[in-house]
Structure 1
Amino acid sequence: MRRNDWLTPEGTRDLLFEECAAKRYLEDRITGIFENYGYSEVITPGIEFYDVFNGKARHFAPETMYKLVDGKNRLMVLRPDTTMPIARLCATRLRDEELPLKLFYNQSIFMVNPKDSGRDDEFEQSGIEIIGGENEDSDYEALFLAAKALGECDEDYRIEIGDSGIFSELLSQYNYSDEQQTEKLRVNIVDKNYPAIDDMLADDKSFEALRMLPRLFGGFEVFEEARKYLFGEAIEKKLSRLERLCLELAGIIPEEKIRVDLGLVNKKNYYTGIIFKGYVEGYGQPVLSGGRYDTLIGEFGGREAKAVGFAVNIEAAAKVYLKNKGKSLAKTPDVLVFSNDRISALKHCEKLISKGLSVRNFNGICPKCAEKFAKKHGIKRLDVINENGETESREV
């Protein structure tokens, strides 16, 4: 019989020493970037009303959320996304603040993933949201900061950029209005499931542009190729804007790190424009995702405000960092302190800490045991306090 009191639920795990150190390191580095660029931190509740995630443009399938009922029989969820609570916050408590707002966060989200998907149901995100401001300026800044955040995870990264509005425009051109089929097509395009796309579009040549969309992936040459299949003033405007954005971005980060993916339409349907994902070497899933959402805040009944943002999956990034860097981040104490007198030991620890040293108080029974422990754990100095209160420092 399985002992559930020994286990963690599917999709969750305990993090141990090196993992915690890598996670904390990346949190500090990435949020440090956001603070240096003038972003202000916000924290939203881990428990939200179900309604926050179930509006027209912000729908999360019920089966993907952890649900619970509060003491008043109201349906609640564990936060499956951070963008929507921040949109709620902007429409309520921040509604009178001057725009643009530049916000950052560092908090956990919870999602029910399919069994054996390899995805975590609980993980921490560090991210930003730019609320208001000029579209292109905000998009450019978000992409630049996304690249900087990826660079903290691993120098071998790439950022894939698309525009979800192209998919929406094609649907309008074809009068493709079946919501259930549209969502199925969206998922198949994101997954680049070519056989399923062909089956859905029934080899109808009038759907050639939709069929080609997930194949329009690569370097900047994609823009020239796309214009062979994608037509219309609205689509050309989006293509030109995206091309200009990519070219400008290549002026500040290496061009080979930028990929164009016009099939990047995302399974979150609140995105309305630019959309992007970030990858690092050695990890098959995105460690960063983001995009523009211009209608979401207004849906909460507040002022209309265009916005763009992204989030880094810190757990995934930490996993990659440890694998690729191969170096220890867990801090080894500078000094191990031993004394048979507890008060003397802790007073000495405080004295060392006040001098900027890190310490570990050894709770063993003899100095030899302490020395053995120090050697095993790489602690270079041992301070032994004798019965007279005198301290002997030894190099280990």
Structure 2
Amino acid sequence: MLSQLKLSHLAAGAIAVLVGYTSSVAIIFQAIEAVGATQAQANSWLVALGLGMGLTSLGLSLWFRMPVLTAWSTPGAALLAVGLKDVPLDQAVGAFVFCAVLLTLTGLSGWFERLAKLIPDSLANALLAGILFQFGLSAFAALNQDTALVAAMGVTFLAGRLWFTRFTILGVLLVGGIWAGLSGSFGDLGQLNTSLTLPEPVMPGFSLPVLIGVGLPLYIVTMCSQNMPGVVTLRAAGYTPPVSASLTVTGIASLLLAPFGGFAFNLAAITAAICAGPEADEDPKTRYLASAVAGLLYCLVGLGGATVISLFLIAPKALIATVAGLALLSTIGNSLSQALQDARGREAALITFMTAVSGVSFFGIGAAFWALLFGLLVNHLLNRGTAQNFKASPK
């Protein structure tokens, strides 16, 4: 296995971790603040979340030999930031445990895997392109934030496509990091927190209103806004994802780490696309090594706790946005091409894509769910109408 490890695997894994933390760690801090956790408890959350993502990603990737990457529930964290106000910490942990039990039962029952198989490939690709579109767009929008930095990274990307294809994104990251360092774009290094981070458990307390008002919505948004796109990401990359096994593993991890702040783990979508795409490896059979690297790095970041997180937070936003956008460019293009290839399903695919890009949200459930729902409905109606017209036409 180590003989198959490439520099592109290391680069893809590192970028996935970088994007995973910087894109949503601020929301985690808001959730921690909402529940009134102490600094030690806040650090414990970061340890639990890092180790949970790392161990599950590493285990699933090596076991199934495919780039199965996991993540904390970002929409779940946003929900907690609002829903945990005035909720005691022990009851919040009880809601985490309740959500974890539901996630585990979902994996063991296998119903979600059967549901995922009903999604047409064109809609799966359209949904993935819609989810990733904002990240691609952010790379170009970052030109307004730091024109020189983004331009240097863009030139490196083009040069890489011409002369060092396998290491294009690694080159972009290195040039961006060096440029940002020399231009003083990094934040104040004095903000680095070098304190030792240790896990601190909180015994769960159970309150029916909190279980229904926090635990159940946490489960729903995690399934709809995280696990479904995660399944779609692997399918769009050409893999048959181990859905039930992955949900079971992430559910058990959530259950074990809930007392330490690991509120919910799920299949990743955006970061998984980085490890499952051609930038990670030209050979799909060995791309799992990129997600395994990401899993190992997640563990190290988790153990580093506050020190590593604070380092992520002082990195220039333009640097992160550009690396992520350029790393996902091929995946976005391939997904759009596959989604629109069949003229019969083109309208449904476009509606799925546009709904996902819109960011629309109803009842606390994000655009990914509604994009898939609208796409399936339109696909069914149009295909049904076409079939009826065919039957009614003269012989």
Q: Same fold (TM over 0.5)?
A: no
- Higher-strand-fraction structure: 1
TM score, norm. by length of structure 2: 0.25
Bigger CA radius of gyration: 1
Kindly indicate whether structure 1 or structure 2 has the higher relative contact order, using CA contacts under 8 Å at least 6 residues apart: 2
Q: TM-score, normalised by structure 1?
A: 0.25
More helix as a share of residues: 2
